[in-house]
Structure 1
Amino acid sequence: MFIQPWDAALDTAEWQDWLAATDRFGILAVNNLDPASAPIMLPTHFSLAGDDLLIHLARPNPVWPHLAAAGEVRMTVVGDYAYIPTYWRAPAGIPAENGVPTSYYSAVQFVCRPTIVDDPEGKAALLTAQLADFQPEGRYAEVAVGSGPYGRMLSGIRGVRLAIVRVEAKFKYDDHKPADHRERVIDNLEERGRGLDRAVAAQQRRRLTSIGEWKAQP
């Protein structure tokens, strides 16, 4: 992922806090065993557990031989995105219709080394961790091998533990533009109020408060 200096995460806590506020749903990209064929893209929820991501997939999923052969895979999460039209970005003295449009968005990508989890106890532990993550209020049965409602279902899935090699985080909100430009776009986003516009405006306001004028940065 290409990241301009002004689009980079301010620190690790920024992308961690953003991710914690999402549904942690992303796309897992796995190289195809046939280099002439497209990579395999898997939409899935995932849990962040220390230095690992945890996922599980159905056993009939055709990804398994490709995943077993992969040295590295990539998980991508994108959110808080909006199209910014030409007439919002035209510099002073330039006709509004001659402005250059762009996209605003937040994105986090994890490059990981995958390990397939296929033993029943390992899968039960992985599912228990994911349930605790996504359903902290409880109200689910114990995941136990050979018993309960989930024991017999374990054979139908395989787990994957993705050891994080590196994290690439991008917050693309025109932080290199003057503060008054960004404030004007924030107002426009809030007025338009379409889709994720207000969430995007909140991200841009947060970054503006933290960064101020980009040229003042060391």
Structure 2
Amino acid sequence: MLIRSWDRGTEEEWRAWLAAGRDFGLLAANGPAGSGPVLVPTHFLLDGDEILLHLAAPNPLWAAVRADPHVTLSVTGDYTFAPGHWRGEPGTPTSYYAAVHFHCTAEIVESRQGKADILNRQLAHFQPETPDVRVVPGEKPFGPELSGIHGLRLAIRKVDAKFKYDDKKPAEVQAAIGDRLAERGCPLDAAARTQLLRRNARRLP
């Protein structure tokens, strides 16, 4: 991912962005030679410098990870299209978006207790309203189902974060584009406008 100096995200910025409910991404692993990457849409749990998730045992990702444990998790959101005539000279259109790429080393978790631990941490995050619903190996209703999944721990090696919202333009132009997004009101414009104005606020005195 190309990241210019004006749209690079800080760690504080991308962590806050993800913590606001962005916990679904695209996990990519190197596939067999000539086949292209294996791509898996998945929920995940970011915990410090580690990412936890689980997938069904038949998923083709497992063979790819066993062959090469280096994987990338991509999270993208708050995107929209900015017409060229909004942006001043030379009038080129662009895309606005936020994106975080986690470059990780993957560890497959196959023990029943290890898988239960990952599931329980995910349940606590995604389903906090049911604290009594937990996975215990060997106990119904979920324990017997553990054989159908594998867990995955991703140790984060590097993070690339990009918030592409025309920070290279003058602050007043960027703010005017925010007004145009509000006027247009397409389904994705509001989230992109929030990011654009947040970035713009950092620049204004």
Q: 1:120 pairs with 105, 112, 127, which one?
A: 112
Q: Which residue of 2 aligns with 1:26?
A: 25
Q: Which residue of 1 aligns with 2:69?
A: 71
Asked whether the equivalents of residues 104 and 173 of structure 1 are also in contact (C-alpha less than 8 Å), the reply is yes
Q: 2:150 pairs with 147, 150, 158, which one?
A: 158
Question: Does 1:176 pair with 2:168?
Answer: yes
Question: Does 1:192 pair with 2:184?
Answer: yes
Structure 1 stretches lacking a partner, 5+ long: 92-97, 214-218
Deviation readout 1:167-207 (Å, 9 max, x if unpaired):
11000000010011101100000111112201111111111
Offset at 1:139? Answer: 5.0
Deviation readout 1:75-117 (Å, 9 max, x if unpaired):
00000000001211123xxxxxx61000000000100000000
Q: 1:131 pairs with 123, 126, 130, which one?
A: 123
Question: Does 1:3 pair with 2:16?
Answer: no
Match runs of 1:100-119 below 5 Å: 100-119=92-111
User: Scaled by the length of structure 2, what TM-score is found?
Assistant: 0.96
Asked whether the equivalents of residues 45 and 53 of structure 2 are also in contact (C-alpha less than 8 Å), the reply is yes
Offset at 1:140? Answer: 5.2
Distance across 2 between alignment mates of 1:152 and 1:106: 40
Distance across 2 between alignment mates of 1:196 and 1:90: 22
Q: 1:43 pairs with 16, 41, 55, which one?
A: 41
Offset at 1:70? Answer: 1.4
Asked whether the equivalents of residues 115 and 161 of structure 1 are also in contact (C-alpha less than 8 Å), the reply is yes
- Secondary structure, in 3 states, of the residue corresponding to 2:15? helix
Change (3 A) 1:58 1:71: closer
Offset at 1:211? Answer: 2.5
Q: Which runs of 4+ in 1 moved over 6 A?
A: none
RMSD: 1.3
Distance across 2 between alignment mates of 1:18 and 1:63: 27
Asked whether the equivalents of residues 83 and 102 of structure 1 are also in contact (C-alpha less than 8 Å), the reply is yes
Asked whether the equivalents of residues 124 and 131 of structure 2 are also in contact (C-alpha less than 8 Å), the reply is no
Question: Does 1:81 pair with 2:79?
Answer: yes
Asked whether the equivalents of residues 75 and 110 of structure 1 are also in contact (C-alpha less than 8 Å), the reply is yes
Distance across 1 between alignment mates of 2:39 and 2:93: 28
- Secondary structure, in 3 states, of the residue corresponding to 2:86? helix
Percent of aligned pairs with the same residue? Answer: 48
Question: Does 1:201 pair with 2:193?
Answer: yes
Question: Does 1:60 pair with 2:63?
Answer: no
**Paired letter, 2:8:** A
